[in-house]
């Protein structure tokens, strides 16, 4: 813990995060607690121009709820960022990530579309990535026309589990996203990297918790289907900006994906937050480095 930022140490000492070990009957309570913790540590909400709740219709499946954040300042937004929240595919919602979307909208000057994808275990793989792909296809066409941005400038991103969904959706719909913005993404269901062993007991996220999350997502499905690191040809993937936390079981997932993208000729930038743990994007009211990460994502979206 000596290398962890004092603000993170203070959070750990004050209130360790709730473990993702609840039985299915406790899922609603766990989801509510996750949202409350996020709001409590988020700080004051950043003002934006408008906030719109929408439903993305598609044939044969439920509409995907999204929340669009439009910037306040002129000129009109040049593009959009689709954001997929973290939470191990099991928890997380639009309200719990409202502050992240607002901050990203204000910092980037772009429309931010926060995606309320279906959660496991009620909706196992591939439900969530189908939702992410549907929103991406909408965003480059009808969404751009409705919200007033350039449909050729859509970046897709997410943190943790949301990073996996963003990366997979970009691969499933090649040529649509102009960039992928991934924050400590969870990309390897086999969990075989050195960082999983180094930080098996946390802080803030444990290997056992990730095993439960992957299990809920896959529900017995072939892990390779959900593994971004086993996706095959990455030559058509969009340029990537990948942020990782040094004290995180998922640290090596992002680094491995960066190496694979570079080997496929895809431009990639990696930013390592040496004194951070998993989850710090949500804690802008208590951890200053969260603001640094928002600024980095906003700069990447403008490239």
Identified catalytic residue from 188, 248, 252, 253: 248
Q: Per-residue DSSP letters for 181-224?
A: EEES----TT--SHHHHHTTT-SSS-HHHHHHHHHHHHTT--HH
Chain centroid to Cα 242, Å, comes to: 11
Q: Which of 84, 99, 247, 278 is catalytic?
A: 278
**278 counts as catalytic:** yes
Cα(156)–Cα(16) distance, rounded to whole angstroms? 31
What are the Cα distances from residue 185, in Å, to 1, 165, 169, 254?
A: 22, 9, 14, 6
Query: Is 248 tagged catalytic?
Result: yes
* Residue of 114, 160, 193, 195 marked catalytic: 160
Q: Is the dihedral of CA 107, 243, 291, 286 positive or negative?
A: positive
Residues 6+ apart with CB under 8 A from 142: none
Q: Within a 10 A sphere around the Cβ of 25, how many other Cβ atoms? A: 7
Helices (H), the chain: 6-14, 27-42, 98-108, 127-139, 142-147, 161-172, 194-198, 207-218, 223-226, 251-263, 289-301
Q: How many CB atoms lie within 10 A of CB 198?
A: 15
Catalytic residues: 160, 248, 278
């Amino acid at each position: 813990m000596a290398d962890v930022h004092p603000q993170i140490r203070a959070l750990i000492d004050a209130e360790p995060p709730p473990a993702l070990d609840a039985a299915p009957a406790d899922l609603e309570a766990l989801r509510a607690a996750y949202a409350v913790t996020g709001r409590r540590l988020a700080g004051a909400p950043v003002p934006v121009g408008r906030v719109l709740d929408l439903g993305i219709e598609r044939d044969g499946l439920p509409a995907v709820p999204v929340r669009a954040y439009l910037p306040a300042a002129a000129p009109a937004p040049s593009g959009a960022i689709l954001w997929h929240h973290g939470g191990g595919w099991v928890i997380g919602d639009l309200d719990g990530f409202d502050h992240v979307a607002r901050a990203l909208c204000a910092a980037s000057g772009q429309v931010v579309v926060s995606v309320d994808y279906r959660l496991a275990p009620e909706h196992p793989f591939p439900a969530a990535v189908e939702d992410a792909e549907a929103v991406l296809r909408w965003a480059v066409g009808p969404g751009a026309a409705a919200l007033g941005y350039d449909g050729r400038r859509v970046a897709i991103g997410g943190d943790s589990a949301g990073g996996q969904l963003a990366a997979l959706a970009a691969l499933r719909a090649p040529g649509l996203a102009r960039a992928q913005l991934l924050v400590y993404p969870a990309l390897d269901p086999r969990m075989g990297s050195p960082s999983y062993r180094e930080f098996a007991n946390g802080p803030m996220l444990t290997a056992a918790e990730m095993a439960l999350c992957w299990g809920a997502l896959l529900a017995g499905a072939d892990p390779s289907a959900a593994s971004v690191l086993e996706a095959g040809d990455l030559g058509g993937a969009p340029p990537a900006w990948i942020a990782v936390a040094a004290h995180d079981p998922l640290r090596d997932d992002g680094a491995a994906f960066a190496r694979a993208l570079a080997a496929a000729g895809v431009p990639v930038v990696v930013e390592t937050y040496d004194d951070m743990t998993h989850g710090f994007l949500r804690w802008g009211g208590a951890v200053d480095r969260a603001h640094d990460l928002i600024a980095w994502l906003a700069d990447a979206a403008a490239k």
